[in-house]
A and B are shown apart, each in its own frame.
Chain A
């Protein structure tokens, strides 16, 4: 620092940077999120490249990492933080969710400017009606659709033929697929052979295997999920209940949902795909499976048909007498949108136009075809949301194998009969609650009607909260902020005056000034990063605030919600934390104690051993979570733990390997196993505790003739109980704040935290509310709930075992 040469160098460096900087910034950056680059998306890459070639002044930056499964938290944080991407590839059904939060830019102005002038500009008439409608919200367009996927019935003709006699005996035609629900059930029943050793060999039809969900069956039965005006959730109608009952019946007739799920959990992918192997005779699925089928089951005799519909609909009678359409399916897909605050919207619009245009789509498919052909594979194009592109692509890339061409055509023909999920801002909630209702009914925990009723209430609550928001007064956040700052300054001035008026010697005063200077890093940090935020968080906990829109004062509503409307989640998260602590504390204790005792031996090579036992605690958390995700893979052909289980416990006790992170019952145990692996290092503490037990007690006991068991229970355990209690409390506090590894290890990127929310912890819940939904107010109230629980626990801890309060003794 002191050397003048350093200063000179610095000046030079600055000058160089200044000189070069403008030259580099000539290109305009265009940041695109949500398009993943991988072997199956070579086409996307090709379009992006072609766009860059045509727009040499634009530097397209695809955030390739983490793009495949775009997570809402990242997007919202970036929008709120003013660093939004320019283009985002978004699941269409959630567009209205984002639009309602004011997080996407309407595209109407762009369209109005380009319509008729630019041939690339999307026109509604190019698109399938439902696809286009899904990207609109309240009369504005928020995204341009890209792909579209609908569901059809796939069936294995060979299985039909092999069971022709049985089918004929039941009055069914083995030459054709089922067309109605009742036929579907009959075929499914006959094509499911009896269980062997309590296990399925094959299932004829599992209603939700593939991709149909309740949505598709409900659409077929003319059920709606949200009322026309968008204010009422209508998923509890008899039509929806009927559809759900069909699903439940479908499972019950072959042996129940649980058995079916067990069967499914053994399914693998690629060449071991259940449909390819003939373990499933029929399924309803989307066009994405065609590539797997052509690659791994080219000789499979597949047949396709529209998904079977309710009998009344098929025969146009009863409720469906005047219904025009016989077949109905479900339609989804993605679209490109421009988030609010995008820095380069005009290039973003150019990109979207090119990417979604028929020309762009054909470039993509040509590139993908070349890529596949280089690898000796057949190419089957995916479905597009644009009818024009879809037809052109079919002409150009029609699969050579007629059965795949027929399947593709079937998908295309049904496009006009695809229904979309309701355009509503509660799309995500609706989706997850519809899944929950389906599971509840299938497990027979409630009747279809009751299950849907429960789900309806949850969704309705969110709807009501949104429409009632007007009743809460808007508050200007600047006022409390300034009040806080002014009060803070006044406080500091008062303290200063008090200090100056103290009677002190010169040296004393000098020392005090120095001390204040030294303490200032902490003091400033405390005021700005701790006390201020704490008060702010307390204030927010009485408001409804999503950063993008103005805050509203809601009083105690957030706290009431913790115990009321959202009690399911609160209770679940707390119960999970308690469960986790209850399992983790004793098991890590046992493992750690064993290791502590082992490492306490005098043995050769202790350094080497110690390294092994300590290493798990040193490994970066993310890396160990990633590693354990693989160790805990349920498939015994892949996962280390289950491979071992399969070789040992299964033949000995007949227990099949558990699903670990994939199963609601085992996911917490998975975390515990992982904790046990990392338990080796912290247990010196326990050793210290053990050594702290006075030997005189043991001597006295041995004189009295106590046996080892009595000694343990009468001396060691009571003496160690404060440590045990301390660990239990700390374990619970730690479990409440568990986040990182759950984030990495939970099976689905969004939706429930672990199967059936079994890995939801209080801090995870807070993170979700705060940063995924930006319910800052509610998240703050959760933070205060966590804080109060910790306070109470710590207080109890202090009261019950004062010997653990180190700092009270050293004064």
Chain B
């Protein structure tokens, strides 16, 4: 199905290219025949060969392509582009008609008489072509111009898509150099809409992320396309007499739960429902210390004996049925009835399901203190890496750029050559080194290497150091500064912007580091966010709401830093040229 359709679409495209090239060839020949002025014979010949060759190749390919059956059977599958079902002659006729009309119109409006004659001549040519095509079309009675209704489904989405496509197309054309011909305001509109369209395309996955993180489970998958407006279930507080919900204290934490069993000694056994990480845990607690709190129960609507109602679900029964207490209309209020799940519809309102965030966090292992430990580890990693990289790279770069010592050039060459060494080569021996130091399952292997200066940063900083005038350093020397003092107080402040860029890179590198934690870290207490997120994805992949909430939380700090240090980020990305990866 797919391949045959594809083949047909491809074949159609080829056919069209072939026809147009052929038409182009004929047109060029025609031009040569009437010997229009201002024709470069060499260029004409070249275009003649190229278009002729293209046409020939297309037709040969078409003869080989097994698409003859498909061209006839327009009923077998839906091809929405209307000209696909017109015979070629019909379509070419239409095109000729349009061109003839256009040229005629141009001719009428033209200023000079020579131009008018040119235009009208052209219109005449098109009219001739039109007659030829109409003749071709008439010759075969099997040819029918058929416009398949519903071929192009103009739903909201397709309309938006077509509009976006049009905007993008216009923008592309304008930007490709025709902008000079458009007026100032038109240009602004086009630029703005192109920028807007681009922002939408690039922002869409983000919007998807954030919106998904606020959706209820039932909206995650919908046969009517993606749900963009999150809705949440209406609930009402309800004191359940059958199984009341209580608040209690468990290991210095406030928990909610229900009573599972009453013990003989006046205490009760309580089943924890919230927080999620310890749900299902049961413990004994004196009845007196419990405080009853209302349950939040869902509101549903439906029809009872032909009367539409709203009610609250006071019990979900074993067989899936629900016991509903009516809220509206007033005549029914307070009465109860049992419904099958299919007979009631949840009552929902547009809103954000913040519970996804709290639930995502409550699913994290208890030892990570609601995920704060992850954040702490990432911060340690980031701070230590940035600190180590900046200090070590700057000091090394300073020595290479400003100090003279035997072996400098050799060492620098070695340094440069390590730039192309893939990390993969040293991966395994480094693992063995860190293993012998008993550093597996600690953060050390991830940040300690930062203190040993990386080649690329040294190289970059050296360039910056070289740009600082020698006089500055000489002055410091005359004032009696040691090399360390000169470096720290005189040279380092001069390259602050470069350091900021390196800091930003290192920050991103450390925040994103994934392979490192994957190899070295095992226990939740030592995990940084990036790895925790991957594990969360493995565990809670089936619950996109929670997953997206956690992913959003992982992104937030970086985005915050980005907004504050936007300049350095963009500079950094530009300098490294790594943005595409």
**What residues on B are CB-neighbors of A684 within 8 Å?**
573-574
Interface string of B198-229 (1 = CB under 8 A from A): 11001111101100100000001111011000
| A515 and B404 in contact, given A45-B280, A682-B577 (Cβ under 8 angstroms) | yes
Q: Which residues does chain B contribute within 8 Å of A611, judged by CB atoms?
A: 562-563, 566
Check B452 against A522 for contact (C-beta < 8 Å). yes
Residues facing B in A656-701 (CB within 8 A) are 656, 675, 677-685
Map CB proximity to A onto B1-25 as digits: 1 under 8 Å, 0 otherwise. 1101110010000000000000000
Q: A83-B440, A595-B198, A652-B80 are in contact. Are A66 and B535 (CB under 8 A)?
A: yes
A810 to B459, CA, bound (A): 12
Taken together as a complex, chains A and B put the C-alpha atoms of A787 and B153 apart, in Å, by 53
Do A614 and B573 touch across chains, with their CB atoms under 8 A apart? yes
Report B405-432 residues with CB < 8 Å from chain A CB: 405-408, 411, 414-416, 418, 420-432
Indicate whether A763 reaches chain B with its CB closer than 8 angstroms.
yes
Closest chain A residue to B508, Cβ basis: A618
A291 contacts chain B at the CB level, 8 A cutoff = no
Contact B318 A38 (CB under 8 A): no
Candidate in B194, B404, B487, B581 with the most chain A CB atoms within 10 angstroms? B581
CA distance A63 to B524 in the complex (A): 7
Q: Which one of A208-216, A374-382, A463-471 contacts B?
A: A374-382
Please name all residues of chain A whose beta carbon is closer than 8 Å to the beta carbon of B195 when the two chains form the complex: 598, 601, 603, 605, 609
The answer to whether B580 and A682 touch across the interface, beta carbons within 8 angstroms, is: yes
Complex contact A521–B453 (CB within 8 A): yes
Which of B222, B318, B364, B411 has the most chain A CB within a 10 Å cutoff?
B318
CB-defined contacts of A367 to chain B, threshold 8 Å: 280
Convert A514-535 into 0s and 1s, putting 1 for each residue whose CB lies closer than 8 angstroms to a CB of B.
1110110111111011101110
A residues 484-524 touching B (CB-CB < 8 Å): 495, 499, 502, 508, 511-512, 514-516, 518-519, 521-524
B33 at the interface (CB under 8 A from A): no
In the complex the two chains form, what is the Cα distance from A499 to B416 in whole Å? 23
B221 touches A635 (CB 8 A): yes
Smallest CB–CB gap between B340 and chain A, Å? Answer: 11
- Type the 1/0 row for B535-550, where 1 means its CB is closer than 8 Å to any CB of A: 1111100001001100
A790 at the binding interface (Cβ < 8 Å) = yes
Which residue of B has the minimal Cβ distance to A377? Answer: B320
Q: In the complex, A613 Cα to B576 Cα: how many Å?
A: 17
List the 3 shortest-distance A-B pairs measured between CB atoms, nearest first. A525-B452, A682-B579, A81-B440
B69 surroundings in chain A (CB, below 8 A): none
Give the interface centre of B1, B161, B367, B580 by most chain A CB atoms within 10 Å.
Answer: B580
Q: Are A621 and B512 in contact (CB under 8 A)?
A: yes
Say whether A66 contacts B483, CB under 8 Å. Answer: no
A529 and B452 within 8 A (CB): yes
Q: A518 to B532: give the CA distance in the assembly, Å.
A: 37
Instruction: Give the residue among A375, A502, A608, A681 with the most B Cβ atoms within 10 A.
Output: A681
Contact at B441–A640, with CB atoms within 8 Å?
A: no
- CB neighbours of A528 from chain B (8 A): 433, 452
> Given A516-B405, A598-B175, A604-B192: A648 and B198 within 8 A (CB)?
no
Residues facing B in A337-356 (CB within 8 A) are none
Report if B326 contacts A (CB, 8 A): no
Can you sample 14 A-B contacts with CB below 8 Å?
Answer: A45-B281, A64-B365, A78-B522, A371-B280, A512-B406, A516-B405, A534-B426, A537-B429, A623-B533, A627-B205, A638-B221, A733-B422, A739-B515, A766-B424
Task: Please tell me if the beta carbons of A603 and B191 are within 8 angstroms of each other in the complex.
Answer: yes
Q: Is A123 an interface residue (CB 8 A)?
A: no
Let me know if A653 and B9 touch, CB within 8 A: yes
Shortest CB-to-CB span from A583 to chain B, Å, is: 12
A524 touches B452 (CB 8 A): yes
- How long is the Cα–Cα vector from A736 to B424 in the complex, in angstroms? 10
Closest A residue by C-beta to B408: A515
Kindly state whether residue A631 has any CB partner on chain B within 8 Å.
yes
Could you tell me the distance in whole angstroms from the C-beta of B581 to the nearest C-beta in chain A?
5
Enumerate chain A residues within 8 angstroms of B392, measured Cβ to Cβ. 521-522, 525
Are the CB atoms of B554 and A623 closer together than 8 Å? yes
**What residue of chain B has the Cβ atom nearest to residue A80's Cβ?**
B435
Query: Which interface class (under 10, 10 to 19, 20 to 34, 35 or more) fits A?
Result: 35 or more
Given known pairs A376-B317, A612-B203, the reply for A521 and B452 (CB within 8 Å) is yes
A231 contacts the other chain (Cβ, under 8 Å)?
A: no
**Chain A residues near B530 (CB, 8 Å)?**
620-623
Return chain A residues, CB-CB under 8 Å to B4. 198
Within 8 Å by CB of A82, from B79, B440, B534, lies B440
Assess the B280–A536 pair: CB atoms within 8 A: no
Determine if B466 is an interface residue (Cβ-Cβ < 8 Å): yes
Complex alpha-carbon distance, A74 and B484, angstroms: 45
Closest B residue by C-beta to A270: B221
Beta-carbon contact of B202 and A677 below 8 Å: yes
The answer to whether B508 touches A680, judged by C-beta atoms less than 8 angstroms apart, is: no
Contacts of A526 in B (CB 8 A): 414-415, 418, 452
Interface centre among A268, A608, A622, A683 (most CB of B within 10 A): A622
Chain A nearest CB, measured from B464 CB (Å): 12
Given contacts A618-B562, A622-B512, A646-B225, contact A787 B554 (CB under 8 A): no
Q: Please report the C-alpha to C-alpha distance between residue A511 and residue B399 in the assembled complex, in whole angstroms.
A: 10
For A257-271 the 0/1 string (1 means CB < 8 A from B) is: 000000000001000
Complex CA distance for A810 and B77, rounded to whole angstroms: 65
User: Are B430 and A529 closer than 8 Å at their CB atoms?
Assistant: yes
- Pick the contact of B223 from A508, A628, A637, A675 — CB < 8 Å? A637
Closest residue of chain A to B319 (Cβ to Cβ) is A376
Stretch at the interface among A218-226, A429-437, A777-785: A777-785
In the complex, chain A residues whose CB is within 8 Å of the CB of B551: 623, 626-627
A685 and B574 form a contact (CB under 8 A): yes
Q: Does B425 lie within 8 Å of A783, measured CB to CB?
A: yes
In the complex, are the beta carbons of A69 and B425 less than 8 A apart?
A: no
Sample of 10 more A-B contacts, CB < 8 Å, known A515-B404, A521-B395, A626-B533: A66-B534, A376-B320, A522-B458, A612-B198, A622-B512, A656-B1, A708-B177, A739-B514, A770-B427, A783-B428
A749 touching B191 by the CB < 8 A rule?
no
Distance, CA A584 to CA B79, complexed state (A): 31
The contact string, 1 if C-beta is below 8 Å from chain B, for chain A 615-633, is 1111111110011111100
Which residues of chain B come closer than 8 Å to A605, judged between CB atoms?
A: 195
- Distance between B106 CB and nearest chain A CB, rounded to angstroms: 22
| A28: min CB distance to chain B, Å | 16
Q: How far is the CB of B423 from chain A (nearest CB, A)?
A: 8
Kindly supply a per-residue 1/0 record for chain B positions 155-173, scoring 1 wherever the CB is within 8 Å of any chain A CB and 0 otherwise.
1011001000000000110
The reply to whether the CB of A597 lies closer than 8 angstroms to some CB of chain B is: yes
Q: Does B53 contact A (CB under 8 A)?
A: no
* Chain A contacts for B5, CB-based, 8 A: 653-655
Q: How long is the Cα–Cα vector from A321 to B533 in the complex, in angstroms? A: 57
A78 to chain B, nearest CB (A): 5
Is B522 a contact of A534 with CB atoms below 8 Å?
Answer: no
**Given contact pairs A529-B452, A637-B221, A807-B459, A644 touches B161 in the complex (Cβ within 8 A):** yes
Q: Are A515 and B440 in contact (CB under 8 A)?
A: no
Contacts A609-B198, A678-B579, A740-B514; A640 near B226 (Cβ below 8 A): yes
CA distance A499 to B212 in the complex (A): 65
In the assembled complex, which residues on chain B have CB atoms less than 8 Å from the CB atom of A540?
A: 428-429
Please indicate the chain A residues that have their CB under 8 angstroms from the CB of B427 in the complex: 766-767, 770, 783
B165 to A, closest residue via Cβ = A648
Chain B contacts for A737, CB-based, 8 A:
422-424
Contact digits for A308-340, partner B, Cβ 8 Å, 1 yes 0 no: 000000000000000000000000000000000
Q: Bound complex: CA of A499 vs CA of B408, how far in Å?
A: 12
- Pairwise interchain contact A534-B421, C-beta atoms closer than 8 A: yes
The answer to the question of B398 belonging to the interface, with a C-beta cut-off of 8 Å to chain A, is yes
CB distance from A631 to the nearest CB of B (A): 5
Q: In the complex, what residues of B have CB within 8 A of residue A242's CB?
A: none
Residues A683 and B580 in contact in the complex (CB < 8 Å), given A529-B452, A537-B429: yes
A734 at the interface (CB under 8 A from B): yes
Known A80-B435, A536-B429, A597-B175; contact A648-B2, beta-carbon cutoff 8 A = no
How far apart are A527's CB and chain B's nearest CB, in angstroms?
A: 10
CA gap between A307 and B407 in the complex, in Å:
77
